[in-house]
Structure 1
Amino acid sequence: MSSAPKERKRVGEILELEREIQKRWEETKAFEEESPLEEKPPKFMTTFPFPYMNGRLHLGHTFTLAKCDFAVGYYRLKGRKCLFPFAFHCTGMPIKACADKLNREMLMYGNPPNFSEGNDVEEIVEENGSVNENELDDITRDKAKGKKSKAVAKTVAAKFQWQIMESLGLTNEEIAKFSSAEHWLTYFPEKCE
């Protein structure tokens, strides 16, 4: 005899309880707070460095977010007025810079690019004198900076933006679409849901 129907029944009960509690929170505005102008009652505010939507979210985002969420819950129980502003966004230069790098790589190496083993970043800059070295920041190596363990763990062994996108499991056809900054705004946010 299988216990699957019994387990699903329990999950259903938990989900129903969750809906009831969330409705109660919505009605009582349990998580809405106005910032008082006076010094009393005591206040607590935390923020979260919102994930920039130029990649997929990962467990590290949840871990950091949970710290803020727990702190707000704790201080709210202690009677403080707690503010926790939070949002996702998709604006700014990181997306534009990545799109520009993909455009440059397709211009220099074709679509899909053929990165030959012999080409190094310095050779590329010499051959294409118009390429701005500041724009090659993800490709070039900065030997003056030491390697930190967290940075090393996050680093993909790729020196081109195209290779970084491949490491996310994207096909060549999909990667080419990312040469438009607008495509970034529609692709990754839906992966966040």
Structure 2
Amino acid sequence: MATDGKQSTARRDLLQQIEADVQKKWEKQKIFECDAPDSSSEKFMCTFPYPYMNGLLHIGHAFSLTKAIFAAHFNRLLGKKVLFPFGFHCTGMPIQAAANKLAREFDVYGKPYPIFPPGRPQPKESSPDVIEIDDDGVTMQWKPPASTGKKAVKEYVVHMKVQDQDFKVVKKMPPPSPEELKAAGNKVRTVLPIEGGGCVYKVIAILEDGSSCPPSPESDQVSVDAAPKDKKSGAAGGKRVAKKILAKSGDAAFQYEIMKAMGLSPEDIPKFVDPSYWLQYFPPLGVRDLKRLGTPVDFRRSFITTSANRFYDSFIRWQFRKLKQSEKIGFGKRPTIYSCLPASPSSSQRLMHPTSWTRPLR
């Protein structure tokens, strides 16, 4: 039944309440806790690849997990003793790299409330690499700064240069309203002049106290093609077309921006400069979300990887010693990347510092 023009969510809310009540009953009765069965019991064990704990679980995890969830529930209904342990992957460089990236952002843009530049201006495309323009100019858009040091943006100042000329101010505009920003896909959007020969744009956000954010990265170069001629009259006709004539540069997100998108507060984000804090923060949220999904895991048997968990670390070391003794594994050579800054082989995630110049290791 609709109320005030909105569709009722009563049925959905009822189903969610039933789900929550059943999950509380499961928790109270500890039905997913599985102790070692006797020899007469039929057993079933289910596992899942450890999700990496540099963020929250997402829909991809849920999609893959459903297969394990169905299998575990089905075999429990058959009367089997079902064990479903769960691990959280914290080993390797991605967490360390993200912590390092966040630390560098605070060093460059300020801490605890950094002031970031706006995103790279990009043309609004009508088709890949083609932007229709009118007599007013070309529509450009950019992301607002991820953080402005708790200061409101007063206006955006757009600069443009043509070929090798200097940048000049071509537009000043107030920030869009939250409604306008949402309607434009969280992008600031405006029409800017365009000239022949190729134009490049950059944006500076002026804050309420008169200070400014760092300038945005420069846009890809945009040029104006001549309008097609009318076949009968020979006169120019149709819309002009602007084209990006350099490769699309993209608009990489700041690590701070990624953390903010996860729902973290500006006051909490600085804690993630310490890579060990990631191990404390995200695995419990993983357990929370797995329980909400109804995953039949024995959480007494959940764990994190890395040497922070000495039991798991000892188990892995024992495995590899056994494999080495059995000559199942050995040491060999493979192509890798050598980073001169730490003077060691390095994965791609570590090559984030501008002075980490590299050469192939042969």
Taking structure 1 as the reference length, what is the TM-score of the superposition? 0.50
Q: Tell me the CA shift for residue 81 of structure 1.
A: 1.1
Residue 255 of structure 2: aligned partner: 165
Q: In structure 2, how many angstroms separate the alpha carbons of the residues matched to 1:184 and 1:51?
A: 14
Higher helix share: 1
Q: 1:180 to 1:21 in 2, by over 3 A?
A: closer
Q: Tell me the CA shift for residue 182 of structure 1.
A: 3.6
Q: Tell me the CA shift for residue 54 of structure 1.
A: 0.9
Residue 61 of structure 2: aligned partner: 61
State how 1:17-56 maps to structure 2 within 5 Å. 17-38=18-39, 40-56=40-56
Residue 274 of structure 2: aligned partner: 180
Give the counterpart letter for 2:48 in structure 1. F
Q: In structure 2, how many angstroms separate the alpha carbons of the residues matched to 1:34 and 1:7?
A: 45
Q: Tell me the CA shift for residue 179 of structure 1.
A: 4.2
Residue 108 of structure 2: aligned partner: 111
Residue 10 of structure 1: aligned partner: 11
Q: In structure 2, how many angstroms separate the alpha carbons of the residues matched to 1:166 and 1:62?
A: 26
1:52-107 deviation digits (Å, cap 9, x = unpaired): 21134322111121111111111112222110012446x4443564157538x949
Give the counterpart letter for 2:101 in structure 1. L
Q: In structure 2, how many angstroms separate the alpha carbons of the residues matched to 1:76 and 1:47?
A: 15
Give the counterpart letter for 1:47 in structure 2. T
Structure index of larger Rg: 2
Q: In structure 2, how many angstroms separate the alpha carbons of the residues matched to 1:77 and 1:9?
A: 31
What are the ranges of 5 or more consecutive residues in structure 2 without an aligned counterpart? 110-248, 290-362
Q: 1:101 to 1:74 in 2, by over 3 A?
A: same
| Aligned pairs, number | 142
Taking structure 2 as the reference length, what is the TM-score of the superposition? 0.30
Residue 148 of structure 1: aligned partner: none
Residue 151 of structure 1: aligned partner: none
Task: State the identity as a percent.
Answer: 36
Q: In structure 1, how many angstroms separate the alpha carbons of the residues matched to 2:256 and 2:48?
A: 29
Q: Tell me the CA shift for residue 44 of structure 1.
A: 0.8
Q: In structure 1, how many angstroms separate the alpha carbons of the residues matched to 2:58 and 2:85?
A: 21
CA RMSD of aligned residues (A): 4.4
Residue 72 of structure 2: aligned partner: 72
Residue 97 of structure 2: aligned partner: 98
